[in-house]
């Protein structure tokens, strides 16, 4: 299997500088940890420090005059206020033609509406056997004149969803609008709607399945959404079984949040070990 991601790699402001962030960066490292070759397409200023994060990732960097930069500020209750301080240029669909070999999975991972599903679908060569999947949070954001990021409805969901095999997003992305998940699934897309400690809901083939959270001890929830998404997409493509994939992804995320940052990214052995202690009768909710 070969996996590719397209979207912005970001600089996330911290007190002593910045950390590399963005779904492509985090999920790309998850894929690599699962021993699957991964390519990433992004647009940013030239910066070799990004390339050093994970030597097994093959980067396709379109150079421009800015790197997308976020400042995430949290209040005493953990509620986030997000500012977009700089934004790279949009990523053209034609960039995927540089992927070699063609990916089995093309994970569209926008953070600021930088990629377009319909254009990507039209650009994928007919000879490729590629699934288009997405984490759509970047289509659910608007930035005002003060650089403040607001959550909004996914404006072109009805156009994009028919081209997507599966999507993963969280209740935080949509401010708890639970009714959206079955609406998205009505287009034939498999939807995994994650809800933190409440687990997730899988919508597929006209069915709804509640998946409980896996046993874990939370140290740092950062990146859990990227972990569950990448693991879910991979397992779904491998097995064709969305429920098995959702449980696999849930187990992967439960491991990642037990360590800070990327220290706890799981490999397959760790995921299988977590599944071994997660009783099957406790996996599906009511």
For 67-101, what is each residue's pLDDT tens digit?
A: 999 998 877 776 778 999 999 999 999 999 999 99
Which SS3 state, helix, strand or coil, does residue 80 take? Answer: strand
DSSP states of 160-194 as a string?
HGGG-SEEEEEGGGGTT-TTHHHHHHTTT-EEEEE
Quickly tell me which residue has 């052995």 as its tokens. Answer: 269
Whether 36 and 1 have beta carbons less than 8 Å apart is answered as: yes
Domains and CATH numbers, the chain: 1-153 (3.40.1190.20), 165-286 (3.40.1190.20)
Residue 140: in which H helix or E strand, if any?
Answer: none
Element (H, E) at 254: helix 242-256
Which pLDDT value is given to residue 5? 98
Give the model's pLDDT for residue 156.
93
pLDDT of residue 262: 67
CB 30 within 8 A of CB 57: no
Cβ distance 204 to 185 under 8 Å?
yes
| Token pair belonging to 39 | 């390519």
Contact 31, 3 (CB under 8 A): yes
pTM assigned to the model: 0.95
Q: Which residues of the chain have pLDDT under 70?
A: 78, 221-222, 261-263
């Amino acid at each position: 299997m070969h996996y590719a991601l397209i979207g912005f790699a970001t600089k996330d402001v911290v007190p002593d500088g910045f950390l590399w962030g963005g779904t492509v960066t985090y999920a790309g490292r998850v894929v690599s940890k699962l021993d699957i070759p991964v390519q990433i397409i992004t647009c940013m200023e030239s910066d070799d420090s990004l390339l050093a994060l994970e030597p097994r990732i093959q980067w396709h960097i379109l150079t421009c005059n800015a790197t997308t930069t976020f400042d995430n500020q949290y209040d005493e209750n953990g509620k986030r206020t997000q500012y977009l301080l700089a934004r790279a240029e949009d990523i053209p669909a034609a960039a995927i033609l540089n992927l070699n070999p063609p990916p089995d999975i093309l994970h569209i991972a926008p953070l600021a509406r930088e990629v377009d599903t319909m254009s990507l679908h039209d650009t994928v060569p007919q000879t490729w056997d590629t699934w288009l999947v997405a984490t759509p949070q970047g289509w659910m954001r608007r930035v005002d004149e003060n650089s403040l990021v607001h959550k909004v409805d996914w404006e072109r969901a009805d156009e994009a969803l028919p081209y997507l095999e599966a999507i993963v997003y969280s209740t935080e992305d949509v401010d708890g609008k639970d009714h959206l998940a079955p609406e998205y699934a009505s287009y034939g897309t498999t939807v995994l709607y994650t809800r933190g400690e409440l687990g997730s809901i899988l919508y597929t083939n006209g069915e709804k399945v509640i998946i409980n959270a896996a046993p874990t001890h939370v140290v740092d929830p950062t990146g859990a959404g990227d972990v569950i998404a990448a693991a879910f997409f991979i397992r779904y493509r491998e097995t064709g079984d969305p429920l098995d994939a959702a449980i696999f992804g849930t187990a992967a995320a439960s491991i990642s949040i037990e360590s800070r940052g990327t220290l706890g990214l799981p490999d397959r052995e760790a995921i299988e070990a977590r599944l071994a202690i997660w009783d099957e009768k406790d996996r599906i909710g009511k």
